[in-house]
Structures are given as structure tokens and as C-alpha cells.
Structure 1
Amino acid sequence: MKLYADSALVDAVIPLLEDGLVHGVTSNPKIIARDGLTNSDLPRLYQRFASAGAREIFMQATGGSRNEMLEAASRIADFGDRVIVKVPATPDGFRVASQLIDRDVRVLLTAVYSLAQSTSAASIGADYIAPYFGRIVDSGEDGLSKVTRMNRILAPTKTKVLVASVRSPNAAATLALHGVAHITADVPVLEAMLIDPITEVSAEEFEQISAGWL
């Protein structure tokens, strides 16, 4: 099981990395913009996250054409050996991903919503796909069933399912219970996963007892 922080907020993500609570960091253009940054900040973010111990750092390439997307992806790939380039699962994105994989660049195809896309991603040898669990549920589909079937398709291949848009600790645990081993979530969700009220009561009782030993 590997958890990732889905954020570009350095002050929020760095403590999770330094404390060894997450394996790495994911982002996309929407997250970068939400957190008040631009593509020009990506090299700095990579260095900060890598220095804090991130093992995998996912950053997304954009471009109005296939060539522009490939150029952006190549720049991101040059950041360092911990980067994994994200490209959207569009027809152009699949073609760009295939070219990157031929160059031994690690790739994640993002915004994957169909089983057919999952199959194509495995065929070209992508490292990961990222279905957006919350958005699948919002669309009225059974998100758990769809993600589970993606996982089944990819099980014999090198391609892994990294589930994004996981909005609650319960959603993360349910996905894990059904075989999902890679999950990315915003920092508040990751922090909430560490807390249970009964645990807090038990910990307080332990402290009260041990305080009497002093």
C-alpha cells in the first residue's frame, strides 16, 4: 500500500514526507493553480519534495498540440529520477505517452474513466493510470465497481491503478479493502486517516496512568 499527497502546498506536504507518512506527491494543473502556483514553479516543487524524501513525484504535461505536450513532458522528465510524467488519457495523450515510454520515461495516464482506456494504457506499458474516484461517483456510476474492474484488467501487467479524487478516509479504506494499493488524496484526508475517536480516548487514558508513575 502506498499513499500520496495530492497537493502543491509545500508547507502542508513537506511534514508528511519528512515523517514518512506518504510515499510521494501528485499534482495536476488544477491543483497547481488552486495552490497559487504556475508551471514555472514545477522545478522548484520537484526539488523541495525530493529533498523531503518523496520517492515518486507526479507532474502533468500540458500542451495545445501533441508536439507541445511532448516538449512539456520532456522538460518534466529532466527534473530528476523520481519524477513520473502525467499525461491525459486522450488520443494525443496516449501517443505522447507511448513516445515517452519508448525513451524509458515513467508515465501515468490521468483522467482514465473507461476499462478500454485502462487496457490501452497497459498495452503501451504505462506505469500507472489515475481514475478519479470521486468524479466517477459524481457521474452516477458505481466508482468502486469500475475501479475494481480496472484493477483486475491491470493485475497481470506492469501498469498500476493510482486512484485519485479520494475524498474521505472511509473511501480510501474501502478502496484498499477491494485491492487498490495506490491512493492519492488531499492533505486533510490523509491527516484524518490517522485519527479515530476511540484511539484518542485510549491514548489519553494511557497518558493519565503513566503520569501517576512520575
Structure 2
Amino acid sequence: MKFFVDTANLEDIREAAGMGVLDGVTTNPSLVKAEGNVDFHERVLEICQTVDGDVSAEVTATEFDGMMEEAHTLAQIHDNVVVKIPLIKDGIKALRALDEEGIKTNCTLCFSPTQALLAAKAGADYISPFIGRIDDISSDGMGLIEEIVQIYDNYGFETEILAASIRHPTHVKRAALAGADVATMPFSVLTNLLEHPLTDRGLERFLADWEDYKEARDETPATTTA
């Protein structure tokens, strides 16, 4: 499974990349807005220069011509840019047109298996089911991942399933078990994957034993030979 971070924060991206497990980044205008007074296109370029992998950047237009214009602008920023397209009628048209031009796409805001099927048929490189938002309305976000995996396997679609709107490590685990290709998550969730109380307890015990061992060695008189 690939790990992406869902952010526009360069510090978090650098730290995640430094762990050696980061495969890409997803971002959007809302995440850039949270960073304050920064230029969206400049921040996308900075992200691409920071991480060696796909960087999804989202269009804001909702009609075909506007999506295509924005997509061309985004694609020119860096070779690693993947254009995020919303899963609406004109979005499906844009996915097909961009696929024919060789521009990589991530179809976002997916909430049903039939939407995912349309996106794959249109040539999307990634599909982004929002599992956390589905859970928020008391539905089954992970069930959606499982259904998309089965449909794509049935017909040999090459579209990668990118589990999005991840809220906690259990989402990551279940998405991996279901066969999602990618999990994109906040940096805080990525670091939470490391946490376990038994790891902390074991490390504390090992370090305490090591200190006891060193103290005992220091207190043992040195022996000399005649």
C-alpha cells in the first residue's frame, strides 16, 4: 500500500518524507487556505520539489472548459502533478479528455461504487472514496472500499483506489485489508500508526535494564593479571 499525506503543510511533508515511507501527497484549495497567505500554484510546486511521488492538486471549476483550463495549468507546474477532478458529469468528461492527453488524474469526492465505476471507465488514474465522511452519516465507508475493489478486480480496471478522508489508524488498517492501493491521511494519523502502549512499555524496560547493567559494570572492580 502507498502512503500519501493529505496536507499543504511543507513541514509535515518534509518530516513524513524523512521517515522514508511517503509515496505522495494529496492537497486541495481548502488545505492551502489553512496555511495562510500562500499562492496555491507556488505551494503545489514546493510540494512537488519536496516529495518524490504523485502530488494531487484539485481544480475549482465545475464545468468542462474551466476544468480543462485549470488542469492544463496545474499539469505544467511539475511532472508529478496529478489533477484532481470532482466526480460530476462534466468531471467525467474531463477525465476522459485528460486521459487522452496523457495527463494523470485523481477523481475525487467518490461516495458510491457506481461513481467509481464511471470514473474508471473514463480513465481516471486514481479514485478517491471518502470513507470518513461516509462513516459520519452512519453508513459504511469501508464497505465502499471493498465493493470498489471487487468491481475493479472483476473487470481489470487499472484505476488505483485511494482511500481518502481517513480519520484514524483503524481506517488505514481496514483499507489495507480491503485491498486499497493508497491511503491518504493527515500527518497526525501517519505518526499515530507508530503508536502502541506495549512498544512504549517495552522500550522503557529495555532502557532501564541497560542503565542498571551499566551501573553494575561501573561498580565491578577491575581485575588485574600478574
**TM-score, scaled relative to structure 1:** 0.92
Instruction: Work out whether 1:202 is the aligned partner of 2:202.
Output: yes
Secondary structure at the aligned position of 2:110 is classed as: coil
Structure-2 residue corresponding to 1:129 = 127
Paired amino acid for 2:21 = L
Secondary structure at the aligned position of 2:183 is classed as: strand
Aligned residues: 212
Which digits, 9 at most, give the CA deviation of each residue in 1:48-67, with x for residues without a partner?
A: 32333331111001215321
Structure-2 residue corresponding to 1:173 = 173
Instruction: Work out whether 1:77 is the aligned partner of 2:86.
Output: no
Structure-2 residue corresponding to 1:24 = 24
Which one has a bigger Cα radius of gyration? 2
Secondary structure at the aligned position of 1:75 is classed as: helix
Structure 1 position 14, deviation (Å)? 1.2
Which digits, 9 at most, give the CA deviation of each residue in 1:30-57, with x for residues without a partner?
A: 222233256x332x32333233333111
Gaps of 5+ in 2: 218-226
Q: Select 1:51's aligned residue among 49, 52, 75.
A: 49
Paired amino acid for 2:92 = F
Q: Take 1:45 and 1:208, find their aligned partners in 2: how far apart are those partners? A: 45
Q: Take 2:13 and 2:148, find their aligned partners in 1: how far apart are those partners? A: 29
Q: Select 1:149's aligned residue among 140, 147, 150.
A: 147
**TM-score, scaled relative to structure 2:** 0.87
Gaps of 5+ in 1: none
Structure-2 residue corresponding to 1:41 = 40
Q: Take 2:37 and 2:4, find their aligned partners in 1: how far apart are those partners? A: 20
Structure-2 residue corresponding to 1:63 = 61
Structure 1 position 98, deviation (Å)? 1.1
Within 5 Å, which residues of 2 pair with 1:107-126? 107-126=105-124
Paired amino acid for 2:44 = Y
Paired amino acid for 2:7 = S
The 8 Å contact of residues 18 and 53 in structure 1, kept in 2 or not, is answered as no
Q: Take 2:168 and 2:62, find their aligned partners in 1: how far apart are those partners? A: 34
Q: Take 2:93 and 2:37, find their aligned partners in 1: how far apart are those partners? A: 28
Q: 1:64 to 1:123 in 2, by over 3 A?
A: closer
Instruction: Give the root-mean-square deviation of aligned CA atoms.
Output: 1.7
Paired amino acid for 1:55 = G
Instruction: Work out whether 1:5 is the aligned partner of 2:5.
Output: yes
The 8 Å contact of residues 24 and 57 in structure 1, kept in 2 or not, is answered as yes
The 8 Å contact of residues 119 and 153 in structure 1, kept in 2 or not, is answered as yes
Q: Take 1:139 and 1:32, find their aligned partners in 2: how far apart are those partners? A: 26
Structure 1 position 21, deviation (Å)? 2.7
Q: Take 1:62 and 1:194, find their aligned partners in 2: how far apart are those partners? A: 35
